[in-house]
C-alpha cells in the first residue's frame, strides 16, 4: 500500500508543479483601461507637480516657485515658460463657493487681457473628471489644473481657498490675495502687475 501512496503523492506533486509552471509562463492579463475623461471645451491639465520644492511660502518680490502641468492632449508646460507675460495662479476647488463665484470674474479678466495675461487655476486635490465637469458648467477657457497630490498648493501655502498669486512678467510675485476676489480687489492687484 505504501508504494501506491508514494506513487500517488509523486503524481500529485508533479501535477501541482506543472500547473505552477504553466501559470508562470502564461501571459499577464491586460491592464484595466484608463478611464476616458470628457474634457468638452475645457483646457484641462490632468497632471501637475512642483519642480521647485524649496521650503517656505513665497513672498512678494521672490521668483514664483516653478511647477509643471500636463494638458489632456499630452503637452507639458511649466510656469517658468510664461516669463514675458503676467500670470495669475488661482488655487481653488469645485466645492468652494467663493471659488465658484469668482470664476466668471477671472474669465472676464482673462478675456480683457488676452494679449499679456495667463490665468492658471490650480485645483486642490480633486480628480480631473470632476474638474472638467465644473469647467464646462462654468464656461471658463483658461487652464484648469488638476493637482491631486496638493503639492503645488502646499508649496505656495494655499491652505485657504481661494488664494490667488499675481506674478509679474519677470516671474516675480507681485502680490497675493487670500479669499475671493471682488472686482475691486482684482482690479487693484492687476494694476500692481508689471
Tens digits of residue pLDDT in 61-70: 999 999 999 9
Tell me what pLDDT residue 25 has.
Answer: 38
Ranges of the chain with pLDDT below 70: 1-38
Task: Give the 3-state secondary structure of residue 148.
Answer: coil
Positions of E strands within the chain: 44-50, 67-71, 76-78, 86-92, 117-124, 144-147, 163-167, 173-178
Report yes or no: 113 and 191 within 8 Å, Cβ to Cβ.
no
What is residue 54's predicted lDDT score, i.e. its pLDDT?
A: 84
Contacts of 146 (CB under 8 A, 6+ apart): 44, 45, 46, 47, 48, 123, 126, 127, 128, 131
* pLDDT value of position 56: 85
- State yes or no: cis peptide before 162, omega within 30 of 0: yes
What's residue 12's pLDDT? 56
The answer as to CATH 2.40.160.50 being correct for domain 44-192 is: no
Taking the model in full, what pTM does it have? 0.80
**pLDDT score recorded for residue 31:** 37
Q: Where are the domains of the chain?
A: 44-192
Amino acid at each position: 500500500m505504501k508504494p501506491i501512496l508514494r506513487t500517488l503523492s509523486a503524481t500529485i506533486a508533479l501535477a501541482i508543479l506543472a500547473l505552477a509552471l504553466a501559470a508562470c509562463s502564461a501571459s499577464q492579463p491586460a491592464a484595466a483601461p484608463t478611464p476616458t475623461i470628457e474634457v468638452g471645451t475645457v483646457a484641462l491639465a490632468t497632471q501637475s507637480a512642483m519642480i521647485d520644492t524649496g521650503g517656505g511660502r513665497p513672498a512678494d518680490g521672490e521668483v514664483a516657485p516653478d511647477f509643471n502641468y500636463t494638458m489632456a492632449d499630452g503637452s507639458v508646460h511649466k510656469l517658468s515658460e510664461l516669463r514675458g507675460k503676467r500670470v495669475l495662479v488661482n488655487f481653488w476647488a469645485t466645492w468652494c463657493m467663493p471659488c465658484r463665484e469668482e470664476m466668471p470674474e477671472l474669465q472676464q479678466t482673462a478675456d480683457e487681457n488676452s494679449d499679456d495675461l495667463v490665468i492658471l487655476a490650480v485645483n486642490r486635490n480633486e480628480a480631473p473628471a470632476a474638474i472638467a465637469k465644473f469647467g464646462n458648467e462654468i464656461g471658463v477657457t483658461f487652464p484648469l489644473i488638476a493637482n491631486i497630490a496638493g503639492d503645488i498648493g502646499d508649496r505656495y501655502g494655499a491652505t485657504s481657498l481661494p488664494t490667488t498669486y499675481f506674478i509679474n512678467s519677470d516671474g516675480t510675485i507681485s502680490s497675493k490675495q487670500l479669499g475671493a476676489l471682488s472686482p475691486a480687489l482684482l482690479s487693484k492687484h492687476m494694476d500692481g502687475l508689471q
